[in-house]
Structure 1
């Protein structure tokens, strides 16, 4: 009887200890991910476009708007190397961005309205070629087309990561160098982990996804 009671207490102790260790690891991982997210948030400016609906036509229209927006963005900020300058420039040309979006929509036979704003918005874990960004709040240019209930399209306007080589899935070196110059080396190593290994790239994406899930679960 005493032996069984002792064994039960021992098992309970092991269970509690295991849970505490697990929670401690989760907390450390979450704080680490948040630290990376904060560091990135201070250095990048993102783009978020929401389609009118999930119909194939509206999704195709969203991509056409995206292409025109990025094309114009590149003409404005091609020589910029600082996030604040980029945001200031975009803010000064918000009317032009909206006009471009509206004209693109009209040229394709639609009359959707467009809402456009700069703000701090939540982004899920996303990968751009061989670079992975953890979930978190980031400064971004958000463009809502029509009812804005369709699928999202996300990318990074600064440093320019919106166009990744589709055949290799690799971010251009110029964009990587700009990113390196604007974040600390530790954060860069984490988000670019696995540049030469698909397995490592998948690992870091899975880690970020698990932390994102736990963060959402705790809310």
Structure 2
């Protein structure tokens, strides 16, 4: 004889179904957003205060140099090509900062796929997930990381664009802009839940 589901069981099933549907939607939105940006991933030599301060100085110099390389009104593909063609120059910009600081750490730069946690910046946030990134490694690269956005130039003092300006230029859709900004109430909490779901998926798949 079939047993009727209790109210709490129905509510639980509905909650699980809603979570799965939201996870699928959020994952798709993250993947689409990841296709519109190039992140910046800077790894410090160590966690010493001097190396962490050096990391920030390298970050600023590399962002500034990268922005100077983009053609006016650059598309994502143009920016990607420029970065790919000028990796040595970007590494040299970071190396100059290290040399000026009297350190002998080597600096390398390359474009690659990297996993990023949820990150909240001053005026926007990005969900956890895999992104194409300009990865800059200082020395041993064993210190805390810095995650930002190399294109569009949205980060820190080197930034010349806002999310709104990038959207107006066609680099983001209105939905993507809403996903990144505080106009979408609770967006960081939702991003954190997406990050947790990804971690749980990794536990079950062994990745």
TM bracket (short chain): 0.7 to 0.9
TM-superposed CA distance for 1:205, in Å, is 0.6
In structure 2, the residue matched to 1:22 is 15
**Is 1:77 aligned to 2:82, yes or no?**
no
Larger helix proportion, structure 1 or 2? 1
For residues 44-59 of structure 1, the aligned pairs below 5 Å read 44-59=37-52
In structure 2, the partner of 1:187 is: 176
Which of 200, 204, 207 is the matching residue for 1:217? 200
Rate the CA distance shift 1:176–1:81 in 2: closer, same or farther, 3 A: farther
Instruction: Find the partner of 2:89 among 96, 105, 120.
Output: 96
Kindly indicate whether residue 143 of structure 2 is the aligned counterpart of residue 159 of structure 1: no
Instruction: Say whether the 8 Å CA contact 2:111–2:133 is kept in structure 1.
Output: yes
TM-score (norm 2): 0.86
In structure 2, C-alpha distance between the alignment counterparts of 1:40 and 1:133, rounded to whole Å: 9
Unaligned segments of structure 1, at least 5 residues:
1-8, 166-170
What is the alpha-carbon root mean square deviation over aligned residues? 2.2
1:60-93 alpha-carbon deviations (Å, 9 max, x no partner): 0001111111111121116143011001011111
Number of equivalenced pairs: 199
5+ residue gaps, structure 2 = 203-207
Deviation at residue 190 of structure 1 after TM alignment: 2.2
The aligned residue for residue 205 of structure 2 is: none
> How many angstroms apart in 2 are the aligned matches of 1:209 and 1:124?
8
Q: Indicate conservation of the 8 Å contact 2:52/2:143, yes or no.
A: yes
Partner of 1:168: none
Structure exhibiting the larger radius of gyration computed from Cα positions: 1
Provide closer, same or farther for how the CA distance between residues 70 and 143 of structure 1 changes in structure 2, counting only shifts above 3 A.
same
| Equivalence map 1:36-47=2 (5 Å) | 36-47=29-40
1:44–1:158 CA contact under 8 A, matched in 2: yes
* Cα deviation, residue 14, structure 1: 3.2
Match of 1:6 in 2: none
CA deviations on 1:175-207 (whole Å, 9 max, x unpaired) are 522235123222222222338xxxx3xx21111
CA distance in 1: counterparts of 2:107 and 2:69, whole angstroms: 21
Aligned equivalents of 2:161, 2:67: Cα separation in 1: 17
TM-score normalized with structure 1 length: 0.82
